[in-house]
Amino acid sequence: MSDLTQSRHYDYIPIIDREPFKLPDGARVAVMPYLNIEHFPAAIAGTSLIPGPAGFSPDPLNYGWRDYGNRVGLWRMKELMDKLGMRATVCLNSEIIREYPRIVEEALASNWAFIGHGINNAPANFIGNAPDGQGGHTPLSEEREREIISTVCNTMEEAIGRKTKGWLSPFLTHTDNTPRILEENGVEYLCDYTADDHPFKFNTPNNNLIAVPYTVELNDIPAFLGHSGVGVSSEAFGDMIVDQFDVLYEEGATNARCMPICLHTFHVGQPNKFKHLKRAFEYIASHNDVLLTTGDDINDWYRAQYM
């Protein structure tokens, strides 16, 4: 019989047992678009629209589809967000800095936040899901994990000019060592656990790491690709964003909420999907008492008010 225990990384505190969460200026909802900006090495299989040729090298079908995001889709999304006063929290593969410096330059000009998201999106660098050479997967060693995290943090700090406050592990995979290693590297928040509408504290040695909300529900990869290979329509994804906002906006009148929206430029940057993202973002921005913000800002606010 298995030992049914809760995660050791954080405590269970139900929302009904907390004091109401407050946001700046009495906002009901903090809307945080997370933008995954990723580097997929050309010779390694990555996220695929059509799995059949995914193991080929080269794989122009899937590589070109992904590369559309960095070449076109991102810029379509950025223009909309700049117009609406939305700032992205960029989940950044550190190799983007070398491979696509123009992206970093423009993101900095829009005052976007940056959080670490591994070196690249090759499976060998997935902290909790590295290939073991036998067709399976095994967690990385602590030594290799330390190397990846420190490399990403140092590369980003050098290029961006400030310490990296947040982290999202590639494919949300990590080991039991990850929170502790992140804290040792000065990271202040981790997004891997999509467990709450509010920030919460991790159980780390210095009690200085928190969770800032992220989501696998309002996330275009699981929404469009789906576990069965059949996902929702572009229109339905826009409706999901609107519906999520409506519920959180109503609840936020007495207990403020965070609303992450997690996006990939090669998905919602495609014109047919972007049409409905635009509709949803414009709907959100038309409301009063909404904070259009970033993971960094929510981290800073939580620390100032609740730690």
Backbone angles phi, psi at 263, to 5 degrees: -130, 150
Contacts with 20 (C-beta within 8 Å, 6 or more apart), sequence order: 254, 255, 256
Q: Mean pLDDT in the chain?
A: 90
Task: Calculate mean pLDDT across residues 267-275.
Answer: 96
The model's pTM is: 0.92
**Separation of alpha carbons 201 and 16, rounded Å:** 17
Which tops the pLDDT comparison, 172 or 181?
181
> pLDDT digit string (tens) for 238-259?
999 999 999 999 999 999 999 9
The pair of three-digit structure tokens given for residue 138, joined into one six-digit string: 């095994």
> pLDDT digit string (tens) for 104-113?
999 999 999 9
CATH architecture classification, 23-306: Alpha-Beta Barrel (3.20)
**Separation of alpha carbons 25 and 216, rounded Å:** 28
Pairing between strand 200-201 and 210-211?
antiparallel
Domains of the chain, by residue range, sit at 23-306
- pLDDT of 277 strictly over 80: yes
Lowest mean pLDDT among 1-10, 122-131, 267-276: 122-131
- pLDDT of 75 strictly over 80: yes
Neighbours of 142 (CB within 10 A): 14
